[in-house]
Chains A and B, each alone.
Chain A
Amino acid sequence: MDRKNFIGLDGFVWFMGVVENRQDPLKLGRCQVRCFGWHTDNKSLIPSADLPWAQPMLPVNGGDLSATLKEGDYVIGFFSDGDSAQFPIIMGALPGVPNQAPNIGKGFSDQRNSDELASSPRTPDSIFFYNTGAGVQLSEKSTASIYPNILNEPTTSRLYRNENIAQTSVGLKRTSQDKQVPTGFGDFWDEPYPAYNTTPPFNHVVETESGLVFEMDDTPGSERIHMLHRTGTFFEMYPSGTKVEKVVKNNYQIILGDDMIHVMGRVNITVDGDTNILSRGDVNLIGGNDLNARIAGAINLSAGEGFNIKAASFNVDIAHGVDIKAGGNMNADAADIYLNSGLATAAGIPDAPYRSNKNNVPFSEETVPVPNLAAVALDELTPEQGDALKSSPQYGVSSANTSDPAVQQALANTSNLTANTDASCIVISQLTPSDTCVKFIKSKEGISLKAYVDPATKAEPITIGYGTTASALGRPVSLGDAISQQQADADIAMVIGKVANILKTKITAQCVTQGQFDALVSLAYNMGVYGAAKTDVMKLTNIGDKQAAADAFLNLVHAAGKVNNGLVNRRTAEKALYLS
Chain B
Amino acid sequence: MAATELLFPQDFSLDSCKIVTALGQPYEFRAMLLILEYFEDLYSNFITGSITINDSVGYISKLAFSGHDYLILGYSKPGSDIKIEKTFRAYKVSNRHIVNNQNETYTIHFCSEEAILSEQYKVSKSYPNTKISDIVNDIVYNQLGTSNTKFLATNSEATAGLRDIVIPSMKPLEAINWLCTQAISATTKTTGTSYLFYENVNGYNFKSLQSLFTSPVYGVYKYEPKNLNMPDDTRVQDLGLEAKNVIGYEMVSNFDTLDMINSGAYANQLVAIDLLSLSYSVNNFDYLNYFTKAQKLNPYPLLANTENRFNQTDSITYQAVLKTAVTNTGDSSKNAYIKTKQPSNKDVNIETTIPYRTAQIPQINAIKYKISIPGDPFMTVGNVITFNLPELTRTTDDKASDAYYSGNYLVTAIKHTIDVEGKFMTIMEISKESVPNQYINPDNSLQAWKLIRGR
Which residue numbers of A lie inside 8 Å of B, CB to CB? 1-2, 4-8, 25-28, 35, 37-40, 42, 45-47, 49-52, 55, 80-81, 83-87, 89
Q: How far is the CB of A295 from chain B (nearest CB, A)?
A: 62
Asked whether A26 and B168 contact (CB < 8 A) given A38-B124, A39-B124, the answer is: no
Once A2-B358, A6-B324, A86-B348 are accepted as A-B contacts, the answer to whether A27 and B341 lie under 8 Å apart by CB is yes
Query: Among the listed B166, B169, B341, B342, which residue makes an inter-chain contact with A52, where contact means beta carbons less than 8 Å apart?
Result: B166
- Quick one: given A1-B321, A2-B262, are A50 and B337 in contact (CB under 8 Å)? no
* Contact B168 A85, beta carbon cutoff 8 Å: yes
Q: For residue B338, which residue of chain A has the nearest CB?
A: A26
Task: Tell me which residues across on chain A come within 8 A of B166, comparing CB atoms.
Answer: 39, 46, 50-52, 85-86
Q: Collect the chain A residues with CB atoms within 8 Å of residue B358's CB.
A: 2, 5
Q: Tell me, yes or no, whether B275 is within 8 Å of chain A by CB.
A: yes
With both chains docked as a complex, state the minimum distance between the C-beta of B319 and any C-beta of chain A, in angstroms. Answer: 11
Q: Across the interface, do A38 and B164 meet the contact criterion of CB distance under 8 Å?
A: no
A21 nearest CB across to chain B (Å): 13
Within 8 Å CB of B354, what residues of A? 5
Expressed in whole angstroms, the Cα–Cα distance for A70 and B326 within the complex equals 26
Partner of A6 from B124, B323, B338, B348 at Cβ < 8 Å: B323
The A-contacting residues of B in range 161-177, CB under 8 angstroms, are 164-166, 168-169
Q: Is the CB of B276 within 8 A of A26?
A: yes
In the A-B complex, list the 6 residue pairs whose CB atoms are closest, starting with the nearest: A50-B126, A85-B168, A40-B124, A38-B168, A46-B126, A5-B323
Instruction: Say yes or no: is B178 at the interface (Cβ < 8 Å to chain A).
Output: yes
Is there a chain A Cβ closer than 8 Å to B328's Cβ?
Answer: yes
Please pick, from B128, B342, B348, the residue contacting A50 in the complex, using a CB distance under 8 A: B128
Q: Is B125 an interface residue (CB 8 A)?
A: yes
Contact residues, B158-203 vs A (CB, 8 A): 164-166, 168-169, 178
Is B73 positioned at the interface, with any CB of A under 8 Å from its CB? no
Contact B125 A46 (CB under 8 A): yes
Does B263 belong to the interface (CB within 8 Å)? yes
Does A35 contact B168, Cβ atoms closer than 8 Å? yes
Residues of B within 8 A of A28 (CB): 276
| Known A26-B342, A55-B275, A87-B275; contact A50-B164, beta-carbon cutoff 8 A | yes
Q: Which residues of A contact B164 (CB under 8 A)?
A: 50, 52
Chain B residues engaging chain A, CB cutoff 8 angstroms:
124-126, 128, 164-166, 168-169, 178, 262-264, 270, 273, 275-276, 321-326, 328, 337-338, 341-342, 348, 354, 358
Q: Is the CB of A40 within 8 A of B169?
A: yes
- Establish whether residues A51 and B275, one from each chain, have CB atoms under 8 Å apart when the complex forms: no
Cβ-defined partner of A86 (8 Å) among B124, B165, B169, B338: B165
| Chain B residues within 8 Å of A42, by CB | 124
Query: Are the C-beta atoms of B125 and A84 separated by less than 8 Å?
Result: no
CA distance A5 to B322 in the complex (A): 9
CB-CB under 8 A for A83 and B168, given A5-B323, A47-B126, A55-B275: yes
Contacts of B262 in A (CB 8 A): 1-2
Given A25-B342, A35-B168, A39-B166, A2 and B321 contact (CB-CB distance below 8 Å): yes
Say whether, besides A5-B324, A85-B168, A25 and B348 are in contact (CB < 8 Å): no
A80 to B328, CA, bound (A): 12
The residue among B126, B262, B322 with the most chain A CB atoms within 10 A of its own CB is: B126
A-B contact number at CB 8 A: 81
Which A residues are CB-close (under 8 A) to B168?
35, 38-39, 83-86
Inter-subunit contact A80/B275 (CB<8 Å): yes
Write out the residue numbers on chain B whose beta carbons fall within 8 Å of the beta carbon of A39: 124, 166, 168-169
Contacts of A89 in B (CB 8 A): 275
Residues of A within 8 A of B270 (CB): 5
Taken together as a complex, chains A and B put the C-alpha atoms of A5 and B181 apart, in Å, by 11
Residues of B within 8 A of A45 (CB): 124-126
Q: Of the candidates A38, A50, A83, A87, which one forms a contact with B326 in the assembled complex, judged by CB atoms under 8 Å apart?
A: A87
Q: Which of A40, A49, A87 contacts B125 (CB 8 A)?
A: A40
* Bound Cα distance from A35 to B337, whole angstroms: 28
A7 to B270, CA, bound (A): 11
Return chain A residues, CB-CB under 8 Å to B325: 5-7, 81
Since A2-B263, A4-B323, A7-B273 are in contact, a sample of 4 more A-B pairs with Cβ atoms closer than 8 Å, ordered by chain A residue number, is A7-B326, A27-B341, A81-B326, A87-B328
Q: Is the CB of B341 within 8 A of A25?
A: yes
Chain B residues whose C-beta falls within 8 Å of the C-beta of A86 in the assembled complex:
165-166, 168, 348
Alpha-carbon distance A341/B226, docked complex (angstroms): 159
Q: How far is the CB of B60 from chain A (nearest CB, A)?
A: 40
Q: Are B337 and A26 in contact (CB under 8 A)?
A: yes
In the complex, residue of chain B having the shortest beta-carbon distance to the beta carbon of A40: B124
Could you say which residues of chain B place their CB within 8 Å of the CB of A46? 124-126, 166
Nearest CB in chain B to that of A37: its residue: B169
A86 vs B266: C-alpha distance when bound (angstroms) = 29
The docked-state distance in angstroms from the alpha carbon of A124 to that of B342 is 33
What distance in Å separates the Cβ of A370 from its nearest Cβ neighbour in chain B?
A: 75
Name which of A6, A84, A85 has the most chain B CB atoms within 10 A of its CB: A84
Residues of A within 8 Å of B328, CB to CB, are 87
Give the residues in chain B near A4, CB-CB below 8 Å: 323
Q: Which residues of B contact A81 (CB under 8 A)?
A: 325-326
CA distance A381 to B328 in the complex (A): 97
Name the residue of chain A whose CB is nearest to the CB of B323.
Answer: A5
Which residue on chain B has the smallest CB distance to residue A42?
Answer: B124
Task: Offer 27 A-B interface pairs, CB within 8 angstroms, sorted by A.
Answer: A1-B262, A1-B321, A2-B321, A2-B323, A5-B324, A5-B358, A7-B325, A8-B324, A26-B276, A26-B338, A28-B276, A35-B168, A39-B124, A39-B169, A45-B125, A45-B126, A46-B124, A46-B126, A49-B128, A50-B128, A52-B164, A55-B275, A80-B275, A81-B326, A83-B168, A85-B166, A86-B166
